[in-house]
Each structure stands twice: as C-alpha cells, then as structure tokens.
C-alpha cells in the first residue's frame, strides 16, 4: 500500500503524528512529543511496504540479521556501569545518563511482536547509547545530527520526519541556530555513511570495552569526519574521543 493509503487507513495515528510533528517544529525540546511522534508514525507504518523496506535494509548487515534472529534487548544497571573503568563504554553511558538525570528503568519497554516492532524497540532502547558512541550531545543540533546518522544508515522515514520538523523550527523560530544545526546534520550524514551498521550491536557485551575501541570497531572515525567540517562549527563530542 502506498504511503497516502497508509495515512487514510490510519487516520487517528496520522493525526497524532502530525500534531506531534507540529509541536516539535515549535519546540524541539518537547521530548514527550518526540515519543508520541515515534509511536504514532510507527503505527502508521506497521504492516506496510515501508516497514518491510526498513526491516529488509537492516537485515542486509550480518549484525542486523542476527539481531532479528535472536531479538536481544538492552538491559541497563547504572550502579554496575558506574563502577567500570573511566573511558569504557559502560562508564561513559552511565555518565551520560547521570548528566541528563535519566533513569533507564523509567523508559518504557516497547513490545516487539514482529520484526518491524522489534526494530523500533531496539532503536528506542539504544537511542542514548548511539548518542554516546557518535559523540552527539542532546541539544537540538545534536538530536538532529543523530537523526541524520539514522537516515544515513537505513531508510529511516521517522528520522526524516523529525529532521523536517527541525528544519521548520529553524526557519520559523530559531534561525540563528542554523549553522550549528546544519553542521550537526552534515556530520551525522557523513558519520553514518562511513560507519558500520549500528543496528543489532549487543551493547551489553561492550560495556567494559574502552569507548575509543568500540568506535574503532564500528568505523566511527569521529576525528576524520570532524576534520571535514568548518572548524568553528565542529561538533564537540560530549564524551571522551
């Protein structure tokens, strides 16, 4: 079924997605509306050709294919992660969550009855891990940069929707922040195209690994990509490079 047909057969979810998208365009810091957009857009795509396209694209990578087979989920114990060596992925992830005042136990655990919903649940679970390994902060520019990274890695239509909302906010509300946002988006696209696929990575197996080694293993060459950006606007990773 074509995208328009999906919207017509899911009018309630489409309306919710549109309403959340407009609110994000007005204020990209509304995390609750990002979650609502995520949920509504996922419901619109559920069972569609778009959903199949995403799953098939993610399966092309061996790590992604293994994830669909084994269905690993991310379970986090911040107390244990804080005790790891400074500079390890787990320690830096715990520090990231502590800085934001986030409790993994408070983040809803999405159900995954099929492959598409598993993909959504995996991305939902690991969003903040992707922030850490890519070095994107959680301000508006950093979030847009990470969405560009998603879009570079697979046909992430929801990421495109969030970027569209971000462009609208930049145009009508925060035009003075355009340089930082466009630099972050460019960085995300370049980094995502150069990196290995992050979907399906078993992050729990890498908690005790130095973050620099994790990045090297995943071809996340932050210095090489940042060197291609305007010096004054280069994105500063929020964790040790």
Domain limits of the chain?
A: 72-233
Instruction: Look at residue 205 in the predicted model and tell me its pLDDT.
Output: 97
Round to whole Å and give the CA distance between 58 and 26. Answer: 32
Round to whole Å and give the CA distance between 224 and 216. Answer: 12
- The tokens for 199 are 């979907």
Averaged pLDDT for residues 67-75: 96
Round to whole Å and give the CA distance between 234 and 129. Answer: 21
**pLDDT band (50, 70, 90) for residue 48:** confident
With pLDDT > 70 as the criterion, what percentage of the chain qualifies? Answer: 78
Averaged pLDDT for residues 59-87: 97
| Residue whose token pair is 């145009």 | 171
**CB distance 24 to 162 below 8 Å:** yes
Statement: residue 107 has pLDDT above 90 = no
Instruction: Look at residue 161 in the predicted model and tell me its pLDDT.
Output: 83
Instruction: Look at residue 166 in the predicted model and tell me its pLDDT.
Output: 87
The pTM (predicted TM-score) of the whole model is 0.84
Instruction: Look at residue 5 in the predicted model and tell me its pLDDT.
Output: 44
Distances in whole angstroms, Cα of residue 191 to Cα of each of 15, 83, 135: 33, 30, 11
Averaged pLDDT for residues 43-70: 90
Instruction: Look at residue 236 in the predicted model and tell me its pLDDT.
Output: 58
Higher pLDDT: 90 or 11? It is 90
- The tokens for 115 are 């492959």
Higher pLDDT: 76 or 14? It is 76
Angle at 69 between CA 154 and CA 6, to 5 degrees: 50
**CB distance 176 to 58 below 8 Å:** no
Handedness of CA 115, 118, 119, 120 (dihedral sign): positive
Bridge partners, 88 (sequence order) = 210
**pLDDT band (50, 70, 90) for residue 37:** low
Statement: residue 132 has pLDDT above 60 = yes
Task: Quick: pLDDT tens for 170-214.
Answer: 999 899 999 999 999 999 999 999 999 999 999 999 999 999 999
């Amino acid at each position: 079924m074509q995208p328009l047909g999906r919207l017509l057969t899911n009018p309630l979810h489409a309306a919710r997605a549109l309403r959340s998208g407009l609110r994000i365009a007005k204020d990209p810091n509304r995390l609750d509306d990002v979650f609502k957009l995520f949920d509504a857009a996922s419901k619109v795509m559920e069972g569609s050709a778009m959903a199949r396209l995403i799953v098939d694209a993610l399966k092309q990578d061996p790590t992604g294919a293994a994830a669909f087979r084994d269905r690993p989920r991310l379970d986090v114990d911040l107390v244990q992660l804080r005790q790891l060596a400074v500079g390890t992925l787990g320690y830096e992830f715990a520090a990231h969550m502590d800085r934001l005042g986030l409790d993994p136990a408070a983040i809803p655990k999405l159900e995954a009855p099929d492959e598409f919903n598993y993909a959504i649940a995996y991305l939902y679970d690991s969003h903040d891990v992707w922030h850490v390994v890519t070095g994107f902060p959680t301000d508006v520019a950093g979030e847009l940069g990470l969405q560009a990274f998603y879009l570079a890695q697979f046909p992430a239509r929801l990421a495109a929707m969030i970027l569209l909302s971000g462009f609208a906010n930049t145009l009508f509300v925060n035009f003075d922040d355009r340089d930082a946002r466009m630099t972050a988006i460019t960085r995300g696209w370049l980094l995502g195209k150069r990196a290995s696929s992050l979907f399906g990575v078993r992050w729990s197996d890498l908690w005790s690994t130095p973050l620099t080694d994790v990045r090297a293993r995943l071809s996340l060459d932050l210095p090489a990509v940042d060197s291609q950006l305007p010096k004054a606007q280069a994105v500063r990773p929020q964790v040790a490079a």
